[in-house]
Amino acid sequence: MARVYAYDGVVPVVDPTAFVHPEAVLIGDAHVGAGAYVGPGAILRGDFGRVVVGANANLQETCVMHAFPNKDVVIEERGHVGHGAVLHGCRVGENAMVGMNAVIMDDVVIGAESIVAALAFVKAGMQIPPRSMVVGMPAKMIRELTEDEVAWKSQGTAVYTRLAAEAGGKLVACDPLPRAEEGRKRVEAPAYDPKYLATPQK
C-alpha cells in the first residue's frame, strides 16, 4: 500500500479494488475509487480540499493532485491522467483524458470525453465543452473529437482499468539481477478486452 498520512484527523480512503502503488503518497481527504489506478510517485494531497480519483480512473506516474483552499480536485469516472500531469483545484470529466505533463489550473472543468494534449497549460477558470480537443500553452479548444478518437481514448483507459485489477498480484519487491537471463521473458501490457471489463471483478 502507498504511503498514507492522516491530516488533522482525516484519513485517506482507498477502495479495496483500486491499485495504489507503494511509492504513491496519499494525504488527508484523498479518495481513490473502485478499480482506479494510481501510479508510482503520484501525490494526492488532500490538506486544503478534497482530492478524488473516481471509479476506473487512472492517475499515472509523478502526477500531482492538490486543491485551491476549500475547493476540490476531481477526476471523474474513467478519467485518464497521463504521466507527470498537474491537477490543481479542477475537475476532469467522465472519460476525459489529460495528456502527459499538462497543467490544469483552478476552477477548470474538462468536459466529458475530451482530450487535453500533452504539455498543455489550461488557464484558471476555463470551461471546456464535452468531446473537445484542447492543445497549447495557453490551451485552446481547436475542434470537436471524432467518434473514433473517443473510442481510442476509451480503450486506453480500459487498459489501465485492467492493469489496476492485475498489478496487485504481479508487482513484487525484489533485488535486481546482475545480468539478464538467457531467453528472458518479456512483460506484456494488458490487452484491451471489453468482455473482461464488462464482467464484475472480485
DSSP 8-state class, residue 194? H
In sequence order, the 6+-apart residues with CB closer than 8 A to the CB of 43 are 24, 25, 27, 63, 64, 65, 66
Coil, helix or strand for 181? coil
Measured CA to CA, the distance from residue 136 to residue 99 in angstroms comes to 11
pLDDT tens across the length of the chain (202 residues): 789 999 999 999 999 999 999 999 999 999 999 999 999 999 999 999 999 999 999 999 999 999 889 999 999 999 999 999 999 999 999 999 999 999 999 999 999 999 999 999 999 999 999 999 999 999 999 999 999 999 999 988 998 998 898 888 889 999 999 999 999 998 887 776 665 555 555 4
Whole-model pTM: value is 0.91
